Amino acid sequence: MMGVVEFVSYQPVKRGHFPGVGFSLGIVLVAIVAILSGTDPLMAAAVAGKCGTCHTMHNSQNNAALVHAGTGAKWTAGSLTGGSSTDPQSYLLTTDCVGCHSNSAADTIITVSGARIPIVFNSVVPTNPLAGGNFYWVATAGGNDTTKGHNVRGISAADSNLAGPPGPPGAGCEPCHTTLTAAPVKPGGFAFVMNGGCEACHVARHHAPGSGSVVVGKDDGWFRFLGSTMEMAATNSNKTNAGVTGIEDPDWEQTSAANKHNVYKGTVNVYMSGGMGSGLADSAVGQVCVGCHQTFHRYMTDAGQYLITGSWIRHPADVVMPDADDFRGTPPTSTPAYNPIAPVAKQAIVAGDQNTPTVALGSDVVMCLSCHRPHGSPYPDMLRWDYRNDCKAWEGDGLHPNCGCLVCHTAKDDIL
Ligand code: HEC
Ligand code: HEC
Ligand code: HEC
Ligand code: HEC
Ligand code: HEC
Ligand code: HEC
Ligand code: HEC
């Protein structure tokens, strides 16, 4: 990518107008990428902006260290501030994962010298949290409630209730399979340092070409950089063969609607375990979760997940939404509206599936992210709605006035 000039802009463009139907303005990604031999010219680059925003050649400016990293590092009005460390970072970066993705104000997308940065940790209550939620509620320097998100190094202390992930795969390999707050370690049998923290789930590939509205795969750095961290740990290569596919909403669902959202990959296959990324064999986003919370799913074989009577012993995940009255919505239809408060996943994603406004009953599946935000939320167990109280979600956004459970179980809405 060196020496390449890029210009990426997002322009609202008027879409075709259908008679009698009020049609909203669409967002069309216009990407002009200069001279990228071998690369689709319509693809946007994953990162844009000046090298110096994100990299420092000597970690020195006027003979003072430039890096802001570690707990407390964040963007404040366009500059990196705070942090417990000024040590040089890998890839000559000016900060670490947490620092670059944190903001002292409430905005969840910021632009610094042309770089458009998605924020996952705000120092104050975030205005429009992105699809993965926000670490504000779990952070020691934020809401400080360990039940409301994953406790991650640089953001919060270890969970006060949980010594490890509920429903682990057995082995307690540090740091990922114990606590995501642990310092990097080099487990026995592995030749490489394992970072944990954000990198327990993400394999960063910031210079991989982005995907626009097509299905992201290996060459694009996988959906939201969800490559196999197990494979990365074993091979030390960030171009992992296993990873999650999907279609990425261009503003990370900062705004979302039935016809504007991510498209998630699910599966109905029984998960396999052959180690080193085989856990992601179907490229489904729920398989990332199940790597650390294995028994919360129909793990390996169906045995143990059903009672002999045929009922589930845990809420099903990666199971088809039945084309039955209980799920058909009000008034009943065989294609109820898609609701980003309780998203479903597709077993196979093809071009044209972006922003699909309906749920395909009999085909789409319920998954871990139907009910949970992977980073954190205002609610216990990082749920997408307030299950303990009135079940409502993201107060004030008007997306769903009722309980998130009822987005799918539509026939039960006479209860609340
Ligand atoms: C918006 C932030 C950002 C900008 C701007 C940026 N980089 Fe990076 N770069 C990163 C991050 C984060 C990594 C960490 C490794 C990864 O994610 O692959 C990285 C990694 C790298 C690497 C090593 C890994 C690789 O993919 O080869 C090189 C070399 C590099 N950047 C060069 C550049 C150059 C040259 C520029 C300017 C043309 C630039 N970067 C602009 C964020 C940025
Ligand atoms: C437990 C696994 C996990 C951990 C730990 C984790 N992430 Fe994520 N992250 C995800 C998943 C899954 C998504 C996709 C969410 C979606 O699209 O619904 C995501 C999405 C993102 C996005 C895109 C914005 C969004 O909300 O969709 C960014 C940026 C990001 N993560 C950065 C980070 C950083 C920085 C850290 C560490 C502070 C981190 N993540 C820790 C699983 C994780
Ligand atoms: C110096 C700044 C910087 C650092 C350091 C950095 N990121 Fe990012 N990251 C960015 C920017 C800018 C983007 C937005 C790229 C885009 O427009 O798709 C991004 C995007 C992401 C995404 C979303 C990718 C997608 O598909 O939209 C994830 C996940 C992520 N980063 C994780 C990480 C992790 C994990 C680390 C540490 C290994 C890290 N980042 C370090 C600047 C940074
Ligand atoms: C960098 C974080 C990380 C480290 C270190 C790590 N794991 Fe994992 N593990 C994961 C994630 C994430 C998944 C699910 C996604 C995947 O398979 O890559 C997973 C999945 C698994 C699975 C089930 C699926 C599969 O791929 O077989 C087993 C078993 C497992 N890990 C055992 C271990 C053992 C044993 C160690 C130590 C030798 C270890 N892990 C080290 C993050 C990690
Ligand atoms: C790399 C391992 C790892 C992966 C992958 C992972 N988790 Fe976790 N999870 C943990 C650990 C460790 C804990 C316990 C400590 C904590 O809360 O951070 C935990 C706790 C939780 C909790 C309870 C939170 C609380 O504090 O009560 C929920 C809910 C959860 N995870 C959901 C998910 C979902 C959904 C995914 C997939 C997006 C996922 N996890 C992926 C390691 C993981
Ligand atoms: C239908 C909604 C739903 C789905 C789907 C779902 N969960 Fe949950 N999860 C919940 C609720 C609600 C709780 C709170 C505890 C309870 O009510 O049992 C919870 C609690 C948890 C906990 C905390 C358990 C503890 O001991 O504190 C973890 C971990 C977790 N879920 C992981 C997952 C994973 C991994 C998946 C996907 C395989 C998943 N969940 C799918 C609704 C769901
Ligand atoms: C994204 C859609 C979705 C959401 C959200 C959802 N469910 Fe479900 N639920 C399903 C599907 C699919 C099934 C399996 C139905 C089947 O195969 O008969 C199911 C089954 C169930 C069952 C019956 C299990 C059995 O033994 O047959 C209960 C009880 C249930 N859900 C409760 C809840 C509760 C409580 C919530 C909110 C915390 C919730 N669900 C949220 C999709 C969802």
pLDDT score, position 24: 32
Mutational pocket test of ligand 1: of 67, 206, 224, the residue with most ligand atoms within 8 Å of the beta carbon: 206
- Cβ atoms of 30 and 9 within 8 Å: the answer is yes
Report pLDDT digits (tens) over 230-245. 888 888 889 999 999 9
Residue ranges of the chain with per-residue pLDDT less than 70: 1-45, 169-171, 187, 189-190, 270-278, 297-312, 392-402, 413-416
Other C-beta atoms closer than 10 Å to the C-beta of 22 total 6
Any idea which ligand is nearest the CA of 132?
2
Any atom of ligand 6 within 6 Å of the Cβ of 297: yes
Question: By alpha-carbon position, which residue is closest to atom 2 of ligand 1?
Answer: 54
- Give the CA diameter of the chain: 72
Q: Give yes or no for residue 194 CB within 6 A of ligand 4.
A: yes
Which residue from 328, 374, 41 is spatially nearest to 223, judged by alpha carbons? 374
Please answer whether residues 353 and 364 qualify as being in contact, where contact means their C-beta atoms are separated by less than 8 angstroms: no
In angstroms, what is the span from residue 206 Cα to ligand 3's centroid?
Answer: 6
Cα(373) to centroid of ligand 5, in Å?
10
CA of 359 to the centre of ligand 6 (A): 22
Q: Is the peptide bond before 331 cis (omega within 30 degrees of 0)?
A: yes
Q: Nearest 5°: CA angle at 256, between 108 and 261?
A: 105
The pLDDT of residue 10 is: 26
What distances in angstroms separate CA 133 from CA 47, 126, 295, 399, one per listed residue? 21, 9, 24, 16
Cα of 72 to ligand 1 centre, how many Å? 22
What pLDDT, on the 0 to 100 scale, is given for residue 98? 98
pLDDT of residue 13: 26
Report the nearest-CA residue for atom 22 of ligand 2.
224
